[in-house]
Chain A
Amino acid sequence: SQQGEEDPQALSIQEGENATMNCSYKTSINNLQWYRQNSGRGLVHLILIRSNEREKHSGRLRVTLDTSKKSSSLLITASRAADTASYFCATDVVRNSGYALNFGKGTSLLVTP
């Protein structure tokens, strides 16, 4: 089962606008990561936030984490057409004899010129 659930499922904005995506999860985590995937290609790591962190920045990206609400948000500021992609949050979960990443359902972002 998927640990993370993103919303919205799809988001359409114009260039220059900000895009906000949210992720909720169910169990305790060690860290939460955000990945981007361009259509039909591999995933690219964007940012990792640890459970003892509340906010993290990387360029035009801002991630927040609220462990009390078991939620995270990804903000992309001043969006560009090149930001068009699917965005997934991923949490680390215990799986049988080890640990793995569990990806949420993703948000499909369309940025129009």
Chain B
Amino acid sequence: DTEVTQTPKHLVMGMTNKKSLKCEQHMGHRAMYWYKQKAKKPPELMFVYSYEKLSINESVPSRFSPECPNSSLLNLHLHALQPEDSALYLCASSQDSGRGRPENEQFFGPGTRLTVL
């Protein structure tokens, strides 16, 4: 199984809502990532988990809260988002060398298209 799955595919939420994005992989990868991508822009790294521990937070606002319940799952909890947070949210995973260096390819999920009203 070389697939990264993400749910939901689409999400529309108001600024006062609380929602969660989910990501799952069964490739035994120990590094997992959240990216945010605006239209016609490259993916921007948000968070990196290595061996279920948060290793990188790219100064993301606290209204985004990541969680890694186990080695296969990655969640992104959303609360009090702003319209400018509307974007495609991509999850990825990769093997981890143990030093956290991305020496291997990253496998991406199809993304969640988020719209904040």
Contact = CB atoms under 8 A, between A and B. Distances in A.
Interface in A60-113: 88, 92, 95-106, 108
B42 interface: yes
A99 to B, nearest CB: 4
Interface residues of B, number: 31
A103 B90 CA distance: 13
Interface residues of A, number: 27
**Dominant secondary structure of chain A at its interface with chain B:** strand
From A48, A95, A99, A106, residue with most partner B Cβ within 10 Å: A99
Contacts of B56: 95-98, 100
Interface string A19-49: 0000000000011010100001111110010
Contacts, number: 69
A48 B105 contact: yes
Contacts of B107: 45
B42 A105 contact: yes
Interface of A: 2, 30-31, 33, 35, 40-45, 48, 88, 92, 95-106, 108
